[in-house]
Chains A and B, each alone.
Chain A
Amino acid sequence: MTVGLTFGLLAMGLLLGFPLAFAQVYGYRPLRWLSAMYEQTFRGIPALVLILIFHSGLARSFNILLPAFASALLALGLRSSAYQSQIFRGAIQSVGEGQMAAARSLGMSRFQAIRYIILPQAFRLSIPPWTNEFSSVLKDTSLASAIGVVELAEQGTLIMTTIQFELGARWILVIWLVVSLIYLVLTSVGNRGLGLLEKRVRIPGFEAREGTKP
């Protein structure tokens, strides 16, 4: 459940985050303004509060009862898209202006220039900060337990209640240590995978990023 939720969130964040970032950098003014508003909003509200808004908030006020999983996905996914948009915006902006000028000078349209020149470079630049977002999102999924999504942390709570009666309270710490270990394994496996991706797409001249690797 945790893994599924994480992937769902990252995918959602990615799908929304990229267009948002491009809207912020290259969009026309109203579009730029809207995406900035969106990004400010979802980065400004605590994750837990967002989850509660999308779950009990919608349910109580509008009678829209989303399944717990969907609420968590929506709340954390929109939040992640706001964060990811900033990662991509930074990456896009660190691609020099000359790249766009050179692409346009060849007769490429703005869209072509973004597609063939800016995007491939921004993509590479955004991998290292993106590994951070991966780790945060993975750990934020634990907040979904607040609305009863049975992910890793909630599983811990459930096991804890059973074990407490059968083996005694001193096992509680063990349970949480095991849960932590699982989180740790998941984040390191994910980070390792992203590190490999980074290496695979590395291009001479982008070595400056070496130092920022996790």
Chain B
Amino acid sequence: MEREGEMGGSMDSVLRVEDVHKTYGDTHVLRGVSLRVDRGQTKVVIGPSGTGKSTLLRCINCLTTPDSGRVWLGDTEITAPRAEINAIRARIGFVFQSFNLFTHLTALGNVRIGPMRVLGLRKAEATRLAEEELRRVGLGDKASAYPAQLSGGQQQRVSIARALAMAPKLILFDEPTSALDPELIGEVLEVMVALAREGMTMLVVSHEMGFARSVADEILFMEHGVIVEQGAPQALFTSPSHPRTGEFLRKITELYGE
């Protein structure tokens, strides 16, 4: 299997992570993770809980700083000492497991505030953009609803719209459906599938194998802070080269179904 990581690479790489390590106290959460996501690709990270999947996403979004290793967004090194973190974050969408919609703002307000306050769009422009993004996730009619008046699935779709409104180069999804009731998962996955097909670049931590199978260019299996195996979904499912991968895939297929 091919391991990316060396400098260079094609012009199309949106995200490159090179040998990232992260320790919290005594726990070595990430032990040298390298990966690459090219423009328009969707990669899905799977693995047992506590293997550093969320930490990896947080390192990419500068919510935490890796101890060593480098992360690049396009040509910009995120891990550079003088990186403009706010500007970088503005170009990376982040979808949280717990949605984290701004509770004092309507759906429209949630989607509009980034373009307005960070990108400096005028209110009218930002509103138009926000309405468009809400329609894109199928919530054009919920613009004036507050988060508490929306179902979990709708909230998560608003949070995807909020990320989209920033016209990000890349969207990170941190277990976007884990906090949802089973009957609400479908509507969120539908939006994500549509995004992937439209060519959005996405790195998704999720155990939704149906989603992974239908749109992932590659599945990355992580355990104990390293990427154990990565490859196209079909290959990984039919002939995993690492016994742990097969074991884990069987387990989550049992749990989550197809």
Binding site for B on A (CB under 8 A): 96, 98-99, 101-109, 112, 116-117, 120-121, 124, 203-206
Contacts and interface: CB of A to CB of B under 8 A. Distances in A.
Nearest to B84: A107
B148 interface: yes
- From A112, A116, A121, name the one whose CB has the most chain B CB atoms within 10 angstroms: A116
11 contacts: A101-B100, A104-B63, A105-B93, A106-B89, A108-B117, A116-B117, A120-B104, A203-B146, A205-B147, A206-B104, A206-B148
Interface residues of B, number: 29
Mostly, the A contact residues are helix
A101 B113 contact: no
Interface of B is mostly: mixed
Contacts, number: 75
Interface string B70-99: 000000000000000011111111101010
Nearest to A105: B94
Contact of A116 (B94, B113, B146, B147): B113
Contacts of A101: 63, 96, 100
Contacts of A99: 100, 102-103
Interface of B: 61, 63, 86-94, 96, 98, 100-104, 113-114, 117-118, 146-149, 159, 162, 166
Given A99-B102, A102-B96, A116-B117, A108 B86 contact: yes
A121 B98 contact: no
Contacts of A112: 117-118
A105 B89 contact: yes
Given A98-B96, A98-B98, A205-B147, A107 B103 contact: no
